[in-house]
Structure 1
Amino acid sequence: MEKIALITDSTSDMPKDMVDKYNIKILHYRIIYKDREFIDRINITPKYVYDNLDNEIPTSSLPSIDEMEKLFKSLQDQGYTHAIVVTLSGGLTGILNGVKLVSENYPKIKTYIYDSKSISMGEGMIVEECGKLIEKGASFNEIVNKLPSLRKRLHLYFVVGTLEYLKKGGRIGKVAGTIAELLNIKPIVAIDISDGKYFTYDKVRGRKKSLSRIVEIANNILKTKKCRMCILDGCALEDAKKVFNDVKENQNVTSASFGGDISPVAGLHSGPGLVGLVLFEEE
């Protein structure tokens, strides 16, 4: 009989009740300052990161090999036969290689690592669907085969307050930088599922228009699709609440959740002012 473990990382922004419900194992990124180091979502808050950005922009690091080893050793000791790992987009991180390396030390656990080509609750919603399938008794192979179709049902867009931090972190991908800043151009950013990197889906001038455009994009998708919706923010609570309230009124929103802050490690790369929209199509 299969005993399937479900693993993701701390950038998935999954609420604790969901993590507990589906017994999801979390690998934690690290945030490194010159004289101190923190574990994402464990001993550092998003507010701490934002409050200190003017003094120092820290670097981020993958979950430690030691943490991965301890997790797989624990799974083996608990009798898990299989593991499904859903990670942050491979276009933004090297976590896939780290997990693959460690999982090979545990051949008794058949492990499948899936690149979500997404971030935050985009990644999290794929994990949630896997949890539902495990709960229903789906087999390892059934879940693995379904992952690409889950990804196709996902829509994620976000805006940031400034492109400064995406530029400094080298994660700007195909998003226009300096000239856009000078002209107060606010790109609507999405992730290219071909390479998992950010690209400019659309661009408008000014913050207010960028938030309105996010709502418009949502409503256009919801014209033909019934979707679950989640809104998250990075030090932009009031703007996020407004977008949330505007989108949730759409009759094709089947459920709406306000996810709150994105993870500290994601926040240090996006900087303050992020508002993110995630829609997941219902079957």
Structure 2
Amino acid sequence: MSEFQIFSDGAADIPSNVKKQYNIITIPFYVSLDQKTYQKEIEELPLSVFYDNMIQKNIFPKTSLPSVQDYIDFFTPVLESGKDIICFTITDTLSGSFQSAMSAKQILEENYTQRKIYIENSYAATGSQYLIVRESARMQQSGYDIDAVHSFVQKAKFDSRIFFVVGTLTHLEKGGRIGKVAALSGSILNIKPLIVLANGEINKAGLARSRKKAMLKLSELTKNYIEQNHFSISDFTLTIGTTNTPEEIEVFTEILKSDLPNIEMIEPFQIGATIATHTGPMTLGVCISKKFECYL
């Protein structure tokens, strides 16, 4: 059985300790605060600086995806070492990262005909992408080969979900994710829009009149999704993601534990610049994905 390396683009927001634990390599997006100079997320532009500019200076950042050459540069040393590759990207409905990786794969396959290169369109982003990558890494550490991991992903990506609330609809409107009328209505009414990311698509999931009510509704949406599809709560792993409101995590955790008592909750994570550029600050979400054992 050939060894293989797990990659993910930076949109997965995988915590550094998890990357180290599972030997996951991430390929960063680029972020610009002035629409001229692009810096690698985290490596060159710390999240603290990013959020300070977005919140204090009211800057609307721009992102740029990893190039084909970026992927080639990351993949080549691994292929040279004799390992296969599986790489996860953000859903192709939100970025061209998947296509960049696919182009790199096609170029490299000409020279590395004996190696397997799987490019996985995760149909997810941020926390749900992170959970799928994490489960794949758990499979690897449990002794499963790259083909088994690939087969798992083809099922898991349709069952993962993110339910989240944003501070305002302004960033989603500027990014073309919603219309101007919807953004204006949300601002005038001071409502908290709830959104779901499922099967690679962003859709409205409801409204709430306060942050606390938004948390309650997000937990309810998560529970309903699991129950209505006749899944078992214990089949899922859950994590909470936030942009810049860590003080909300404790309250949200208790709400989720009450509604989903048997779910496995792993440590919360901070939503990175790639996603926050489009959602804006004050974003809070619950991310779930099935454990690989459910598909065996």
Taking structure 1 as the reference length, what is the TM-score of the superposition? 0.89
How far the C-alpha of 1:249 sits from its partner, in A, is: 4.3
Aligned match of 2:207:
203
Q: What is the distance in 1 between the residues matched to 2:6 and 2:214? A: 36
Q: What is the distance in 1 between the residues matched to 2:188 and 2:173? A: 14
Aligned match of 2:184:
178
For the 8 Å contact 1:228–1:255, the answer to whether it is kept is yes
Higher deviation after alignment, 46-55 or 181-190 = 46-55
For the 8 Å contact 1:49–1:268, the answer to whether it is kept is no
Q: What is the distance in 2 between the residues matched to 1:167 and 1:47? A: 24
Match for residue 150 of structure 1 among 156, 165, 171: 156
Q: What is the distance in 2 between the residues matched to 1:175 and 1:141? A: 46
Query: Which of structure 1's runs of 4+ aligned residues deviate more than 4 A?
Result: 221-224
Q: What is the distance in 2 between the residues matched to 1:40 and 1:260? A: 16
For the 8 Å contact 1:50–1:271, the answer to whether it is kept is no
Q: What is the distance in 2 between the residues matched to 1:114 and 1:191? A: 17
AA aligned opposite 1:276: G
Q: What is the distance in 1 between the residues matched to 2:72 and 2:62? A: 23
**Unpaired runs of 5+ in structure 1?**
none
Aligned match of 1:50:
51
AA aligned opposite 1:119: A
AA aligned opposite 1:47: S
Match for residue 116 of structure 2 among 101, 107, 110: 110
Q: Which one has a larger percent helix, Structure 1 or Structure 2?
A: 2
Residue identity over aligned pairs, in percent, reads 24
Q: What is the distance in 2 between the residues matched to 1:77 and 1:175? A: 52
Q: What is the distance in 2 between the residues matched to 1:73 and 1:174? A: 44
Aligned match of 2:217:
213
Match for residue 134 of structure 1 among 140, 145, 156: 140
Higher deviation after alignment, 95-104 or 234-243 = 234-243
Aligned match of 2:125:
119
Alpha-carbon spacing, 1:254–1:243, altered in 2? closer, same or farther (3 Å): same
Q: Does 1:37 align with 2:38?
A: yes
How far the C-alpha of 1:55 sits from its partner, in A, is: 4.6
The SS at the match of 1:121 is helix
Q: What is the distance in 2 between the residues matched to 1:280 and 1:76? A: 30
How far the C-alpha of 1:259 sits from its partner, in A, is: 2.1
Count of paired positions: 280
The SS at the match of 2:194 is strand
RMSD value, Cα = 2.3
Alpha-carbon spacing, 1:32–1:246, altered in 2? closer, same or farther (3 Å): same
How far the C-alpha of 1:61 sits from its partner, in A, is: 0.2
Aligned match of 1:97:
99
Aligned match of 2:170:
164
Q: Which one has a larger percent strand, Structure 1 or Structure 2?
A: 1
Q: How does 1:71-90 map to 2 (within 5 A)?
A: 71-80=74-83, 82-90=84-92
Q: What is the distance in 1 between the residues matched to 2:3 and 2:179? A: 39
Q: Does 1:70 align with 2:73?
A: yes
Alpha-carbon spacing, 1:182–1:83, altered in 2? closer, same or farther (3 Å): same
For the 8 Å contact 1:9–1:27, the answer to whether it is kept is yes
How far the C-alpha of 1:274 sits from its partner, in A, is: 0.4
Q: What is the distance in 1 between the residues matched to 2:287 and 2:198? A: 15
AA aligned opposite 2:192: K
